[in-house]
Amino acid sequence: MEMLGRISDVLNKQIISISGEGVNLQVDGGHELSGNIQLKKSKNAAVALLCASLLNQGTTTFRSFPKIEEVHRIIEVLESIGVKVKWLANNDLEIRPSKQLTLSSINAGAARKTRSVLMLLGSLMHDYPTFNIPYAGGCKLGQRTVSPHLFALERFGVNVDAKTGHYEVNVNKKPANRIVLYESGNTVTNNVLMAAAKTTHTTIIQGASADYMVQDLCAFLVKLGVKIEGIGSSILTVTGIDTIRKNIEFTPTEDPIEAMFFISAAITTNSQITIQEAPLHWIGLELLKLKKMGLDTTIKNIHPSTNGVTELADITVHKHNGKLIALDDKLHPNLWPGLNPDNIPYFVPICGVAKGRTLIHDWMFENRAIYYTEMTKIGMNVELVDPHRIYINGPTKFTRGDVVCPPALRPASLLLIGMLAAKGTSILRNIYTINRGYEDIADRLNSLGAKITVIHGL
């Protein structure tokens, strides 16, 4: 009971912290979805690419960039220090850094709403011997250490001191030569890649992530002229260049996490939909797990992504009609090619409609499993074992509810999926958290037959 009390305190305090956002969704649930949905470009690749654009003194044009809140926050940060950012037609985005940025004018409010601001360390260190970065924000998922970033960047001569409300950065740049990452994370790998990109010596990075946003960044840096060997492996060899001044275009890969969102929505509502241009390499194991649960899918039109990093395909999710069976083995995230950590949450409602008992072990984040218990408010049977593990008992009859979004992107979006399956009218309040990662999500779900109304200030 004591642990449950502490968990309740965590949820209440963190939900209150975002309760002023004021945009809500009214969901008339219980309707079958149908049709085709085109994926947007990757959120996590996009924010890394925005930070990496500062390495280039030429004009960078990103094609079909996602217009989501996380991107808007990074753009606000860039504009506040003097970067010229312009939206063009078709969601294209033009970036033109100034010769001299005004780092003292950084928009601290925007920076503190995203953890991605940490990647400015790797891009700014090449031209500025001293600067400050506001503390990183983003999802409230427990203690997410920045130590791996600091340990890696100190090899390049970057010293970071934590002050009240910001990091004080001092740079005495030097070659890093060989680096073993303290943690094989996506953001820290991207930070080190940016640090190595304009270090003229060769840097060997051991323990690198090979996930989709890292491979997208590698492809972008190669286009800028940086030499990278071992892309897709855990050991990267980077030979940087002192000056980068190119006018280039680059298109991020489609978002595999958004693909999993729509797959989960189709399964939870027992619907047939087709997800267009899904990145096959990044959801291969997810599809295999679903197949072993009894789901039928059809994969057609396989072709290379625009940036050449992966293969895209149209994936049709067929109706399961209640025939899904819980897996005997636990579901848990791992480094790619394991189950993507951001895709694990979407198995929560899926397991909810499967027959049997499923253990999900979300070991990477300290609080995220706690947020899964919010699904009990709309009818799911979720047992919390500890802050990392839950049992789900299915099948579920989802019920309508009136719920405030938790301050974590993926768990918040699960509530929306569950409400789509629940007959009657539900209210999902304060959806800024969802808008951080999903563009026009209500309209796009409505195009598939959902009945969602966006309400301000309900």
* CATH number for 115: 3.65.10.10
Asked if the structure places residue 179 within a domain, the reply is yes
First to last CA, the chain: 34
User: Which of 250, 270, 300 corresponds to the end of one domain?
Assistant: 250
Asked if the structure places residue 122 within a domain, the reply is yes
Express each pLDDT in 289-326 by its tens digit. Answer: 999 999 999 999 999 999 999 999 999 999 999 999 99
Run of H or E including 284: helix 284-293
What total of structural domains would you count in the chain? 2
Give the model's confidence band at 455: pLDDT under 50 very low, under 70 low, under 90 confident, else very high: very high
Any idea what the Cα angle at residue 434 is, between residues 132 and 385, rounded to 5°? 95
User: Which of 250, 273, 293 corresponds to the end of one domain?
Assistant: 250
418 and 270 share one domain: yes
Asked if the structure places residue 193 within a domain, the reply is yes
Give the pLDDT mean for 215-242: 98
Q: Distance between CA 136 and CA 44 in Å, rounded? A: 15
| Six token digits for residue 440 | 């026009």
Give the model's confidence band at 12: pLDDT under 50 very low, under 70 low, under 90 confident, else very high: very low
| Six token digits for residue 280 | 């096959």
325 and 422 share one domain: yes
Asked if the structure places residue 338 within a domain, the reply is yes
Which residues constitute the domain of residue 124?
Answer: 43-250
79 and 228 share one domain: yes
30 and 98 share one domain: no
Give the pLDDT mean for 382-386: 97
305-344 burial by CB neighbour count: b if 16+ within 10 A, else e?
Answer: bbbebbebbbbbbebbeeebebbeeebbbebbeebbbbbb
% of the chain with per-residue pLDDT over 90: 86
211 and 119 share one domain: yes
Asked if the structure places residue 103 within a domain, the reply is yes
Asked if the structure places residue 458 within a domain, the reply is no
Express each pLDDT in 120-166 by its tens digit. Answer: 999 999 999 999 998 875 444 344 468 899 999 999 999 998 888 88
Q: Which of 234, 278, 285 is nearest to 257 (CA)?
A: 278
Q: Which of 434, 289, 279, 436 is nearest to 350 (CA)?
A: 289
Q: What is the pLDDT of residue 145?
A: 64
Express each pLDDT in 355-364 by its tens digit. Answer: 999 999 999 9
200 and 184 share one domain: yes
279 and 419 share one domain: yes
130 and 216 share one domain: yes
27 and 155 share one domain: no
Asked if the structure places residue 214 within a domain, the reply is yes
Asked if the structure places residue 287 within a domain, the reply is yes
144 and 227 share one domain: yes
295 and 418 share one domain: yes
User: Which of 250, 283, 316 corresponds to the end of one domain?
Assistant: 250
271 and 189 share one domain: no
